[in-house]
Amino acid sequence: MPKRSSSVVGREFGNGVRAAIESTGLTQRQLAEELGWQEAKLSDMLAGKGGVNESEVRELLAYCRTPLEERERLIELFREQGNVFLQVPDEGVPDQVRTLINQEKEATEIIAWSMILVPGLLQIFEYIAAVTAKARTVSPENLAATVAARAARTEILEYSRTFTFYVHEQALWLPVGGEEVWREQLAHLLRLSVRKYISIRIVPRSVGMHAGVSGDFRLMKFPKYPPVVYVESVKCCLFFDDKDTVEVYENILKDLAAVALDEEESRAVINSILEGLP
């Protein structure tokens, strides 16, 4: 694999290899010495920058006694090329994929656009359960575990990073899970909206046609890596980190920012809907 700058798939590969190394109890320097490598070579690989070939990867994973299933997953990641990464989860639930969770944890800024539902990171447990129960991608026996995993992702909402959520007004009017859940979800948005590191901005229905009609997405920014755009469909998800594609989505966000209400106005809209419920 040619030496390249860090990408989503490269970092996902590096995270997996890092976990394999940690399972041995060795430091990176010790492992490099055991393999006869320069430590810089191992560091580049873990950062997703390449610098090794497939046989060397197999040698490392064999030394770490990585289980066969994980070994094959990492080899497939190693073989991936380009700046578009497609994933089709076995369970068919895009936002449960390991790559997304890792990217969210590493990001210092997340900007999301949601047109139909309250953004996933802002959903309460009951709202998540109601949405997941309606999804045909989740089998009944896996429903509880999927809901719990989705709910756990909201733990990244903390002050060490910043979040901006653009939400279409129609998403607030969708009575997911019944009136009680709907009411509590709106109240939860109001509570979150006063946190300094969370910005919730509503795109009102009155603006009509807007730049976000192509669908939901999120943009994740990192201190050392290029931004990543995440888009999902019913059974698969895509990660983009090429400059041209990221720029397209950044321009959509600029257009949404131009028509969205400010934070105070957005709180007023949420509160008016809440107060209007029976």
CB distance 3 to 53 below 8 Å: no
Low-confidence ranges of the chain (pLDDT < 50): 1-4
- Model pLDDT, residue 13: 83
pLDDT at residue 124 in the model:
96
Give pLDDT, residue 4. 43
In sequence order, which residues have a C-beta less than 8 Å from that of residue 27 and are 6 or more positions away?
A: none
d(CA 226, CA 129): 34
E strand or H helix at 250: helix 243-259
In angstroms, rounded to a whole number, what is the distance separating the alpha carbons of residues 138 and 34?
Answer: 44
Q: Model confidence over 49-71: pLDDT tens digits?
A: 767 888 888 999 998 999 988 88
What pLDDT was estimated at residue 205? 94
Residue ranges of the domains in the chain?
A: 8-82, 85-276
Task: Write out the CATH class of domain 85-276.
Answer: alpha beta
Tell me the pTM. 0.76
**What DSSP letter does each residue of 66-133 carry, written as one string?**
--HHHHHHHHHHHH--SSEEEE--TTS-GGG-HHHHHHHHH-SEEEEEESSS--GGG--HHHHHHHHH
Out of 3.40.47.10, 3.40.50.300, 1.10.10.10, 1.10.260.40, the CATH code matching 8-82 is 1.10.260.40
